[in-house]
Chain A
Amino acid sequence: GAVVSQHPSWVICKSGTSVKIECRSLDFQATTMFWYRQFPKQSLMLMATSNEGSKATYEQGVEKDKFLINHASLTLSTLTVTSAHPEDSSFYICSARDSHRGFLSGNTIYFGEGSWLTVV
């Protein structure tokens, strides 16, 4: 099946610094990618929808200036957590939608392995 890779798998950063997480679709093109955040024992919360070549659409309550999303190519989207604070510590997960497949031909949305962010 299609593969979505996230990097880094885990990162520890100091409070006040910024950290970037990459999401790559390895064998398909993804016009649309999605970013989620998940706290322990909770469900995934959609943060934003990233569209290649345009601005991301953020969900209500998500600060777009704090969580910068860039989707400059059909295979890469990045999430930058700016001025990170301990409350930003979480599991961040991306998913990508295969641009060339319709649902009738099978699954089209693939998830990355997730990235653990710990802010100290």
Chain B
Amino acid sequence: DAKTTQPNSMESNEEEPVHLPCNHSTISGTDYIHWYRQLPSQGPEYVIHGLTSNVNNRMASLAIAEDRKSSTLILHRATLRDAAVYYCTTFYGGSQGNLIFGKGTKLSVKP
């Protein structure tokens, strides 16, 4: 079973920020939090990952709760190209880890 819980869908207006939440209450101390997004008929695309501290990259920001049981992916200015299914996963950083995907959040962006 997936170890993460996300809302099924969210809507945003173009050029506005989007906060996508994820609960991972059973995360262990060595698990990284990864976010991917997927467009229809394409493989998932890496967005961002983190362990404990908040992370920023050119695509998004990742805010991780102090207890690490939840995180939020932040798209600072949504564009139409950001419409996709966003998956939050937890991943053991060691060599034996694998990525298990939950149901994800389908993000719609309105012009």
* CB-CB contacts below 8 Å: A101-116 with B: 102-103, 107, 109-114, 116
Residues of A within 8 A of B49 (CB): 103, 107
Q: Report yes or no: B46 in contact with A107, Cβ–Cβ below 8 A.
A: yes
Q: Report yes or no: A43 in contact with B104, Cβ–Cβ below 8 A.
A: yes
Q: Quick one: CB contact mask for B96-111 with A, threshold 8 Å, 1 for yes? A: 0011111110000000
Q: Summarize A's interface: helix, strand, loop or mixed.
A: strand
Size bracket, chain B contacts: 20 to 34
Q: What's the Cα separation between A31 and B95 when bound, in Å?
A: 9
Q: How many residues of A contact B (CB 8 A)?
A: 25
Q: What's the Cα separation between A59 and B41 when bound, in Å?
A: 23
- The reply to whether the CB of A95 lies closer than 8 angstroms to some CB of chain B is yes
Q: Which of A1, A46, A93, A111 contacts B98 (CB 8 A)?
A: A46
| Chain B residue nearest to A115 in the complex (CB) | B43
Known contacts: A43-B104, A103-B93. The answer to whether A114 contacts B43 by CB under 8 A is yes
Nearest first, the 4 A-B pairs at minimum CB distance are A111-B43, A44-B101, A107-B46, A114-B43
Binding site for A on B (CB under 8 A): 2, 32, 34, 36, 38, 41-46, 49, 51, 87, 91, 93, 95, 98-104
Binding site for B on A (CB under 8 A): 1, 4, 6, 31-32, 34, 36, 43-46, 49, 91, 93, 95, 102-103, 107, 109-114, 116
Given contacts A46-B100, A107-B49, 6 further A-B contacts (CB under 8 A): A6-B43, A43-B2, A43-B102, A44-B101, A45-B101, A114-B41
